Amino acid sequence: MDRIEGAVGDISLSDLKQLAENVPVMLAVFDAASLRCVYANERYAALSDRSAAQTVGEPFESIVGSATFSKIKHHIDRAIVRGESVSYTRTIEMPGGELRHLDVSFAPDASNGVGRLYVLISDVTRHRAAEIALEQSVERLRKFMAASEEGIAFHIDGVITDVNHALTQMLGYSADEFIGKTTLAFVPTEEHQRVSAVIKSGVETAYESRAIHKVRGSIPVEYTVRNMVWAGIFQRMVIVRDLSERKSSEQRIRFLALHDALSGLPNRASLDEHLAELVAADSNRKFATLFIDVDQLKRVNDSLGHAAGDALLSQLSKRLSQQCEAASAPQHEAWLARIGGDEFVITYLMRDYVDLHRFVDSIMQCFDAPIPVEHRDIRVSASVGITVYPKDGTTPSQLLKNADAAMYVAKADGRDTVRFFDESLARRADLVLETSQALAIAVQGDQFRLFFQPLLSADGKELLGAEALLRWQHPVRGLLAPDEFIQIAEEGHLIVTIGQWVLAEALRHVKLWKSLGWHNARVSVNLSSNEFSEAGFVASVSQALADAELDGTHLELEFTERMLMDDKGETRNSLEELKATGIGLSIDDFGTGFSSFSRLRAMPIDTLKIDQSFVADLPESHSALAVVTALLQLGRGLSIDVLAEGVENESQRECLELLGCAMMQGYLFAKPMSGEEFCAWMQAHRLRYPYAGPRVRHHHRRALSGR
Ligand code: C2E
Ligand code: CA
Ligand code: CA
């Protein structure tokens, strides 16, 4: 009676037993009336740590233990009394202490009159663990979503199923407004294609795009997309990061990187970008590149300080950019950048050359009116070099380089000048570069020569001095005059070293001349403004005199008007110091600058040298006559000697003598000569050597004017 007998269908009883032993289920059969075990497989028996043989015949209660029995009794009753199938889940503790989750089913059967209770138990411990893990991860994800500052949305095939709080904050919609909508409803149209491509591809990726904020409209975001399979459903998790702030700080950084801090104008880097765009845009569109250099900025910085220089620059920037704005129309646009201390560049989309010239004039006008800086009006001028695309260059760097070269020539040609680039300028620019490199070598090597040109009385019989004129014995180009290298030396700051050499060499010759009988020999040395403004200049001159064991009366220094008019007290102090050592001071090229006479009167000057351009036009030119006459009168009025430079012929000399000019210099008497030639010339001419230094009457002048 505890055996199942007979065959079932095609399988035998032993088949069934075999099966019952091998299914991963615990099986038992109880007698419904007695609740004793009729059959149990080994798995079932093992639950209560027995064998199947030990289990069969035992009462239910003793198999499961009375505590458990009372807990499940109602399930048993339901199955037996009501004849219902009952399922429940139970967690039991195994003898080893391990917890197991069991799905228990009771199935009653009274079909053959013998009441049976079938018990089927499956161990779902592993499933349950997975379920718990899932529940926990859902919980974790929920917490993570809630805590995340980044917006998170889930969508299935592009339809939003869940969003977190951060996303509602970020985009201004409530969760309800999100859920059920398509993701694309929150993406601006222009980004639809990209976003749907990503959704369709199903790849895990991160990319920058945009989202629509309920109020603010389109904002920059980064989407990070991850795939998840959730309860068997493929879902996409999208993390949304708001880039607005990063974008705006990026923009700020980009602005700073592309703009000049002082003027707020585009800088060199953005000029390069802009030019590249212009060149790339359309090769038929002519545009001009104006390279503008502010001539006197260094002077302003040196004499008034950098704050003043900065103020000047920012005012000038304003003027230029206003002018560019005014000149800009769709057809001809002007674009301004500041690319260096005193350098601006304007690109101008031009219609034709007439149009360009008009524009250039309007830019030059920016320099006409004085600029008020720190309660004074400062006048500056500009040297401008211009290239036109594509004629003068087809790349940004060519256009700029050539415009720079043209600017350089404009500057060399006397500042306040506009120069268009042409090929000869390119050669000249190359020459400049080459020269400055060669000069650096010349300074060290022994390539400089000093020539001398006598200064004489009007009758040519008295030797009043000699002007030292520099020559460069260039190894390839031969003997070069200063015009070919002085300016370049000034820019490369080599002039200071060269000047020191000139001074020492000049004084060496003075000693030689003295030994040849010119006892009060005087040499005139030309100065460049860079030398004079160098700190310690006065001391270095004194040192040179001391080294040569000469006193100041043997030396005269030639300044230009510009050098003297530039500043306030400092120049005068330096001049007074030089003067105190007996050195003579003269103003070179007089009449070409803009000396204010009141300023001139205050300077301790001994000699004015009338510029050779006036002398050249004598005696025919009335205006030259007028100027020379006026300068001679000025000299007499201020008790300053006046010398005429560049006297080339007898009629000039005669005219000057008649006008009362007592000192002359020029080819008529002698050209500049090498040191030896000069000595030979001196000895060949029977000259008188009167004292020609600073006149005693200057001291009278001071005494008379009460100073
Ligand atoms: P500068 O001081 O005006 O010198 C006079 C220039 O006129 C010299 O040119 C001289 O050779 C030239 N000259 C003299 N007599 C006549 C004449 O009758 N007719 C004509 N047409 N020219 C005459 P150079 O030697 O070429 O010097 C040019 C300039 O270079 C000088 O002009 C001076 O400003 C500068 N320079 C010369 N030597 C030095 C130097 O050692 N240091 C500095 N810083 N500048 C120098
Ligand atoms: Ca001179
Ligand atoms: Ca001169």
Mean pLDDT, to the nearest integer, of 564-588?
A: 85
Question: Does the pLDDT of residue 99 top 80, yes or no?
Answer: yes
Residue 672 Cβ contacting ligand 1 at under 6 Å: yes
- Cβ–ligand 1 distance for 673 under 6 Å, the answer no
Percentage with pLDDT > 70 across the chain: 93
Mean pLDDT of 676-680: 96
Quote the pLDDT of residue 696. 43
* Separation between Cα atoms, residue 471 and residue 447, nearest integer Å: 9
Q: How far is the CA of 674 from the centre of ligand 2 (A)?
A: 16
Q: Which atom of ligand 1 is nearest to the CA of 609?
A: 3
Q: Are 404 and 384 in contact (CB under 8 A)?
A: no
Backbone phi and psi for residue 262, each to the nearest 5 degrees, phi listed first: -70, -50
CA of 490, closest atom in ligand 1:
44
User: Using a 6 Å cutoff on CB, does residue 479 contact ligand 1?
Assistant: no
Q: What is the mean pLDDT of residues 62-89?
A: 89
Q: From the CA of 481, how far away is ligand 3's center (Å)?
A: 14
Tokens representing 654 are: 């005669």
pLDDT of residue 81: 85
The better pLDDT of the pair 50, 436 is held by 50
Share of the chain above pLDDT 90, in %: 48
Q: Residue 698 above 50 pLDDT?
A: no
Which of 175-184, 226-235, 393-402, 545-554 shows the lowest mean pLDDT across its residues? 226-235
CB of 578 closer than 6 A to ligand 1?
A: no
Please name the residue that has the structure tokens 């967690």.
91
Q: What is the dihedral of CA 690, 693, 695, 699, to 10 degrees?
A: -150
Q: CA-CA distance, 536 to 556, in Å (whole number)?
A: 18
* pLDDT tens-digit map of 491-524: 767 888 899 999 999 999 999 999 999 999 999 9
- Ligand 1: does its nearest atom lie under 6 Å from the Cβ of 454? no
Closest atom of ligand 1 to 531 CA is 44
- 224 and 206 Cβ atoms separated by less than 8 Å: yes
Nearest one of 23, 26, 65 to 46, comparing CA atoms: 26
Q: How far is the CA of 572 from the centre of ligand 1 (A)?
A: 25
Cβ-contact 378, 371 below 8 angstroms: yes
Q: Identify the top-confidence range among 81-85, 97-101, 547-551.
A: 547-551
* Ligand 1 site, residue 530, Cβ cutoff 6 A: no
Both tokens assigned to 87: 């399922």
What is the residue with the minimal CA distance to atom 19 of ligand 1? Answer: 646
121 or 529, higher pLDDT: 121
From the CA of 495, give the closest atom in ligand 1.
44
Rounded distance between C-alpha atoms, residue 545 and residue 635, angstroms: 29
Cβ(35)–Cβ(76) below 8 Å = yes
Ligand 1, residue 469: give the atom nearest the CA: 38
How far apart, in Å, are the Cα atoms of 662 and each of 642, 645, 655, 688? 7, 12, 11, 15
Q: Is the pLDDT of residue 617 over 70?
A: yes
Report d(CA 625, CA 651) in Å as an integer.
13
Residue 42 CB coordination number (10 Å): 15
Sign of the four-CA dihedral 398, 401, 405, 407: positive
Q: Work out the pLDDT band at 676, boundaries 50, 70, 90.
A: very high
**pLDDT for 332 beyond 80:** no
Instruction: For strands 663-664 and 448-457, give the pairing.
Output: antiparallel
Q: How far is the CA of 589 from the centre of ligand 3 (A)?
A: 4
Residue 280 · residue 272 · CB < 8 Å: no
Q: What is the pLDDT of residues 461-471, one digit of tens each?
A: 999 999 999 99
Is residue 164 predicted with pLDDT exceeding 80?
Answer: yes
Q: How many angstroms is it from 605 CA to the middle of ligand 1?
A: 20
Q: Using most ligand atoms within 8 A of CB, pick from 451, 496, 526 the residue to mutate for ligand 1.
A: 526
Among protein residues, the one with the nearest Cα to ligand 1's atom 17 is: 646
pLDDT at position 567 is 61
- 37: β partners: 30
For the segment 112-129, what is each residue's pLDDT rounded down to a tens digit? 666 889 999 998 888 888
Q: What is the pLDDT of residue 220?
A: 92
- Measure 680 CA to ligand 2 centroid, in angstroms: 22
Considering only CA atoms, which residue is closest to atom 26 of ligand 1?
Answer: 481
CB 104 within 8 A of CB 90: yes
Is the CB of residue 538 below 6 angstroms from any atom belonging to ligand 1?
Answer: no
691 CA distance to ligand 2 middle (Å): 20
Going by C-alpha positions, the residue among 82, 70, 125 that lies closest to residue 107 is: 82
pLDDT above 80 (res 702): no
Based on the number of CB atoms within 10 Å of its own CB, is 54 exposed (0-12), middle (13-18) or buried (19 or more)? middle
Q: Which of 469, 494, 502, 523 to mutate to test the pocket of ligand 1 (most atoms within 8 A of CB)?
A: 469
Per-range mean pLDDT, top range of 157-171, 230-244, 409-423: 157-171
Mean per-residue pLDDT, 97-118: 83
690: preceding bond cis by omega (within 30 degrees): no
Find the ligand nearest to 609 CA: 3
Q: Which helix (DSSP H) or strand (DSSP E) does residue 419 occupy?
A: strand 418-420
Q: Per-residue pLDDT tens for 344-370?
A: 999 999 888 888 888 999 999 999 888
Mean pLDDT of 168-173: 92
589 CB within 6 A, ligand 1: yes
Is residue 596 over pLDDT 70?
no
More confident residue, 67 or 145: 67
Question: What's the CA gap between 142 and 160, in Å, rounded?
Answer: 16
611 Cα–ligand 3 center, Å = 6
Residue 701 has pLDDT above 60, yes or no: no
> How much distance in Å is there from the Cα of 359 to the middle of ligand 1?
38
H or E segment at 609? Answer: strand 607-610
Please name which of 309, 338, 308, 307 lies closest in space to residue 321, comparing C-alpha atoms: 338
> What DSSP string runs through 23-63?
SSEEEEEEETTT-BEEEE-HHHHHHTT--HHHHTT-BHHHH
Mean pLDDT taken over the chain: 87
For residue 705, pLDDT over 50 is answered with no
Give the span between the Cα atoms of 239 and 225, in whole angstroms: 6
Distances in whole angstroms, Cα of residue 231 to Cα of each of 138, 180, 228, 234: 11, 19, 10, 8
Q: Which of 678, 656, 695 is nearest to 457 (CA)?
A: 656
In this predicted structure, the answer to whether residue 405 has a pLDDT above a threshold of 50 is yes
Distance separating alpha carbons of residues 628 and 601, to the nearest angstrom? 18
Containing H/E element for 233? strand 233-242
Spatial distance between the Cα atoms of 506 and 555, rounded to a whole number of angstroms: 9
Give yes or no for residue 443 having a pLDDT over 70.
Answer: yes
Residue-level pLDDT at 94: 75
CA of 558 to the centre of ligand 2 (A): 6
70 Cβ neighbours under 8 A, 6+ residues apart: none
The DSSP call for residue 51 is: -
Q: Which residues contact 686 (CB under 8 A, 6 or more apart)?
A: none
Q: pTM for the complete prediction?
A: 0.51
Tell how strand 334-340 and strand 523-526 pair up.
unpaired
Where is average pLDDT lowest: 47-51, 484-488, 550-554, 672-676? Answer: 484-488
- Provide the pLDDT confidence category of residue 59 given band limits of 50, 70 and 90: very high
Whether the CB of 529 sits within 6 Å of ligand 1: no
User: Alpha carbon 433 to chain centroid distance?
Assistant: 26
Around ion ligand 2, residues with a beta carbon closer than 5 Å are 526, 558, 588
